[in-house]
Structure 1
Amino acid sequence: AVGQTQQFTAAGFDQYGNPYAMSPGWSVSGGGSINSNGLFSAASAGGPFTVLASDDGVSGSAEVNVLPDSGWATLPSSNHPRHESSLVAFGTKLILMGGRGARPVEIFDLETNQWSTRSSPPLELHHFQATVVDGLVYIIGAYTGSWPFEDAVDHVYTYDPILDQWSVGPLIPAERRRGSAAAVVHQNQIYVAGGIVGGHGEHAEAKRWLDKFDPATGSWTVLPDMPTARDHFGAAIVAGKIYAVAGRDSGASDGVDVTVSQTDVYDINASSWGTLPSSSNIPTARSGVGVTSSGDLVIVIGGEGQGQAWDSVEALDTTSGNWQTLPAIPTARHGMGAATINGSVYVAAGSQSQGGGPETGALEALFIGD
C-alpha cells in the first residue's frame, strides 16, 4: 500500500543453471523509489510499477502493485469469469475456485501479478465459502447442479494448490447436507453455518445449522443452531467469535428480497450464540455478499437484491458494534468470494446483475490496514 516498503532481491544464473555472484543496480518505472539494496518504497499514488535489476548487461524485472491509501485498485482480471464462486488466501496467492459450470481453479500470484489456470474440480461446485487448513483448501456446504433444483454436495472436497490435485474427503452426514453455507476456520477446525436445502424457491428451506468438522479425524460435531436461518451470506471469525452477516431466506416466495439484517455471533469458547442489538443491523441488507475480516473489522462487499447487484462495502467494527461505510467497489457484483492478505481485501469474479449474469472476472483490491 501507499507509504509501505517491499524488499526485492535478485539472483543470477549462467547458461547451465549455475548461480553466480552479482551486484545488481536497481531502478523502478511508473512511480515509487528503490535504493541500492533493493528496498522499494511506495509512492503517494497507487498503481502497478516495474522494478528492474541489472548487472553487467543482464537484467530482470518484476511487477509490484501499490494499492491506493483510499479507494479500490483494479488488478488483472481472471481468465474464466464466473459467479457463485469462492476466493481464498493461500500465502501470497489468491485461489479462485468453483462457480456454476465446473470452472477450473485459477490462482493469482500477488508477487508476479499474474493468473494461472489449474485443474477443474471433479464435479460442478458452487455456492460455498472455501477454507484452508494445513495447506489444503476445503469445500464444505456446497451445491452442485442447475437452478432451481440444485443438490447439496454429499462429500467434503479438498484441493491441494501445490500438487494441483483434487481429492474426495469424508461423507457429510445426510441430515446435515446443504448448499450456500458459510465456513470459517478456528484452531484447525472448520465451522459450517447456515445454508439451504432443496435448491432455490418455495420448495427449498434455509437452515440455522452450525457444525464443526475436524479435518484431522474427519469427524462431525453438531453445534447449537444459529438464531436466524439464512443462506447466500458470509461468515468471518474475529477474536474467537464467528460473525454471520447479511444473507436471505431463499426458500421464501420471493427469497432474493427476504434479506437478513441482524448479525448473529457465536462464541466458540462459550458454545453459545447471540444476536447483536438492532442498532448493529447491517445498514444495507442484501445477499450473495463477499465477506472477509481484517483486524477487528468484518467486511461485507457487494451483493444482490431489489433488482440489482450492489457496489456497497460496509464494515462492522466488532469492538463497538458499529458499521462504517467504505469506498464502493468499482464493479458491482454478487455471488463472489473475498479474501484478505496483509491488510488488503481482494474480491474476484461474480455476477454483475441480480441473478445469473453477466459474469465477471474482475479482481479488485482495497487496502484496509493491518
Structure 2
Amino acid sequence: MRFEEFSRGEKFLHAEPRQITCFLERDELLVPSEDIVYYALRRWYDEEPRIRLQHFIEALPVVRLQLVPSYEFENVHEDIKSVRAALTENFRREAAVYRQEFARHRALIANPRPRASQAVRKFLYVLGALWNERQSLQRYDFASGEWRVETDITDARKRAAVTVFNGCIWVAGGLTDGNEPLYSVCAYDPVRREWSPKMNMHEKRYGFGLAALDGKLYAVGGRNTYRVDPLNGIYSGPDNLNTVGVYDGSAWTTGVSMNKARYALEVVVACGRVYAAGGWGTTENASLKSLEHYHPKTSCWTLILSPMRHVRKNFRIAAMGDIIYVVGGDRSHSIGEFNALYQRWIHRNFHLFSLPSIRDGLAATASDGLVYVLGGLHQNLETKSFEYVNIATGANGNLRDSPEAPGRDASAVVVTFPMHGPVPS
C-alpha cells in the first residue's frame, strides 16, 4: 500500500505521537513528493488539534520541508500559528538557497535528502487529438529528458476522457470521426506497450470527466448525443448530463448524480474526493464557475461555496497533495489554486504565477512541484512546445519539444513506476 492511502486510514490517524514520528522519518516511504508527507502530518493533527499541537511542531523536523512550498504554511489552521515559529531561520535560508538552485538550473525538483522509495521512474504520456483517423500517443521520460512515440490508439476518438487506473492509461467514451458518441473503453499498458479493450460504459458520453478513486472509475457528466444546427454550429440536442457512471473493476453501474449538469468539465481527485469543475451548464453553452465534490463515504455531491474567480472554457485541472490547480483556458494563462483540505482558494500575484504562454485547448498535468503544459494552439497554430511552472517559486521554463504536435484538446497524464517493479523500456 502506498503511504498516501495508508495515511488516510484509521491506524495512522489514531496513532500515538511517537509512532507518527517513526512513520514519517522512514526513508522507505513510498511517496512521489514530500508534500504528501506534510499533508499526512497535518491530517493527523486535525483529528485532535488541541491535544496534538505540540506534537505536530515536534514532528515537523522529520518532514523534509525543502519540497513543501513555503506559501503552504500560510494555510495552516489558526490554532497552529506557532508552526511558523517552528520554522527556524536556518530552514528559511536553506529553502531560499534550494529555490535559487532550482531556478538557475531549470531542472526538475529533486529532494536533497531523498527517500529510498522515491527512486521511481516517472513518465508523462500525451494522447493527441484525433487527426485523419489517427490519434498518437507520446511518452516523455523525466529521467532522461527524451521523448518517444508510442503505439497509436487502436480505437481513435475525440473528446474522450483519460485517466490512470491500475497502472494503465484508460481512455473512455468520446466521438468517432463521424461524430457518433461512444460507449467503448480501452486501456494502454505502458510496460507491454499495447492497447486492449475494456468493458463498455452503460451510457454513451463525450466531453466528460474520468477519475480513479479507491479502486473505482468515475465517469462524470458530458453529453450522450451529438446534434448541431448546421446553420449556426450551435448544439441543439438534449440537456447536458449530471449523471455519473461507476466502474468497480467488474461492472459499470449508475452512481450518484451531480448537483449541476456539466459538459466539457474537468475532474480530479484530491483529499479522497472526486472534484468536478466548470464546464457548460446548459444547452445554451452558459459556462459555469462552480465546483462540487463527491465523497464516497457520504455518497453525495456537495457544491463548493467559493467558485472559481473566472469563467473558464477549454481549461485543464490537476492536483498535487491537497492542492488543486486550475490551468489556463481560452485566452488565459492564469493558474488558480484551491486548497481541498480547507476548502478555499489561494490568492497569489497573477503576474508572478502564470503560464509562460497562452494556449487554447492545452494539455496539462502536475507532478513533483511543477505544473506541465503542452499541446494546444498558440496564436492559432499547433505547437510542440513543452513548458512548466514551478509552484513554489513561480519560475517557468521550457523542456524538450514533443516529436509531434499533440493538437487541440490533447490529454496528459503522469504514470509512476517503482524501481523494484516492471518499468517501461
**2:224 alignment partner in structure 1:** 197
* SS of 1:95 mapped into structure 2: strand
Q: Verify: 1:133 aligned to 2:162, yes or no.
A: no
**Aligned partners of 1:282, 1:44: CA distance in 2, in Å?**
33
Deviation of 1:358 (Å)? 2.5
Q: Verify: 1:98 aligned to 2:128, yes or no.
A: yes
**Aligned partners of 2:385, 2:260: CA distance in 1, in Å?**
32
Change beyond 3 A, Cα 1:47–1:103:
farther
Q: Verify: 1:274 aligned to 2:307, yes or no.
A: no
**Aligned partners of 1:249, 1:336: CA distance in 2, in Å?**
21
**1:334 alignment partner in structure 2:** 360
**Aligned partners of 1:338, 1:67: CA distance in 2, in Å?**
18
**Aligned partners of 1:179, 1:291: CA distance in 2, in Å?**
17
* SS of 2:365 mapped into structure 1: strand
Contact 1:47 1:67 in 2 (8 A): no
1:290 equivalent among 285, 291, 316: 316
Q: Verify: 1:46 aligned to 2:103, yes or no.
A: yes
1:171 equivalent among 176, 182, 200: 200
**1:145 alignment partner in structure 2:** 177
* Structure 2: tracts of 5 or more residues without a match: 1-32, 34-65, 68-97, 111-119, 229-233, 393-425
Deviation of 1:195 (Å)? 0.9
Deviation of 1:243 (Å)? 1.2
Change beyond 3 A, Cα 1:91–1:191:
farther
**2:186 alignment partner in structure 1:** 157
Structure ranking higher in helix proportion: 2
**Aligned partners of 1:316, 1:298: CA distance in 2, in Å?**
5
Contact 1:144 1:152 in 2 (8 A): yes
Q: Verify: 1:211 aligned to 2:245, yes or no.
A: yes
**Aligned partners of 2:359, 2:283: CA distance in 1, in Å?**
22
**Aligned partners of 1:116, 1:131: CA distance in 2, in Å?**
20
Contact 1:247 1:289 in 2 (8 A): no
Change beyond 3 A, Cα 1:181–1:159:
same
Deviations 1:13-58 (A, max 9, x none): xxxxxxxxxxxxxxxxxxxxxxxxxxxx885352657xxxxxxxxx
Query: Which one-letter code corresponds to 2:260 in the other structure?
Result: T
Deviations 1:220-241 (A, max 9, x none): 1211111111121211111221
**Aligned partners of 2:360, 2:240: CA distance in 1, in Å?**
19
* SS of 1:196 mapped into structure 2: coil
**Aligned partners of 2:371, 2:225: CA distance in 1, in Å?**
33
**Aligned partners of 1:153, 1:334: CA distance in 2, in Å?**
25
Query: Which one-letter code corresponds to 2:381 in the other structure?
Result: P
Change beyond 3 A, Cα 1:160–1:250:
farther
Query: Which one-letter code corresponds to 1:272 in the other structure?
Result: C
Contact 2:169 2:189 in 1 (8 A): yes
1:314 equivalent among 327, 330, 336: 336
Contact 1:291 1:337 in 2 (8 A): no
**Aligned partners of 2:104, 2:172: CA distance in 1, in Å?**
36
Query: Which one-letter code corresponds to 1:99 in the other structure?
Result: A
* SS of 2:192 mapped into structure 1: coil
Contact 1:195 1:206 in 2 (8 A): yes
Query: Which one-letter code corresponds to 1:44 in the other structure?
Result: E
Change beyond 3 A, Cα 1:104–1:290:
same
Deviation of 1:125 (Å)? 2.2
**Aligned partners of 2:278, 2:121: CA distance in 1, in Å?**
28
Change beyond 3 A, Cα 1:48–1:233:
farther
Change beyond 3 A, Cα 1:290–1:47:
farther
**Aligned partners of 2:215, 2:240: CA distance in 1, in Å?**
27
Contact 1:105 1:117 in 2 (8 A): yes
TM-score normalised by length of structure 2: 0.60
**1:115 alignment partner in structure 2:** 147
Deviations 1:186-234 (A, max 9, x none): 12211111112333632234211111112x32x0121111111112121
What percentage of aligned pairs have identical amino acids? Answer: 20
**Aligned partners of 2:378, 2:283: CA distance in 1, in Å?**
23
**Aligned partners of 2:246, 2:258: CA distance in 1, in Å?**
13
**Aligned partners of 1:119, 1:250: CA distance in 2, in Å?**
37
**2:276 alignment partner in structure 1:** 244
Deviation of 1:133 (Å)? 2.0
**Aligned partners of 1:331, 1:228: CA distance in 2, in Å?**
32
Change beyond 3 A, Cα 1:202–1:129:
closer
**Aligned partners of 1:360, 1:107: CA distance in 2, in Å?**
16
Query: Which one-letter code corresponds to 2:185 in the other structure?
Result: V
**Aligned partners of 1:197, 1:361: CA distance in 2, in Å?**
32
Query: Which one-letter code corresponds to 2:387 in the other structure?
Result: E
Query: Which one-letter code corresponds to 1:211 in the other structure?
Result: G
Change beyond 3 A, Cα 1:138–1:250:
farther
**Aligned partners of 2:204, 2:368: CA distance in 1, in Å?**
34
Q: Verify: 1:222 aligned to 2:254, yes or no.
A: yes
* SS of 1:46 mapped into structure 2: helix
Deviation of 1:259 (Å)? 0.8
Deviations 1:136-169 (A, max 9, x none): 11112323325xxx22222111111122211121
Query: Which one-letter code corresponds to 2:358 in the other structure?
Result: A
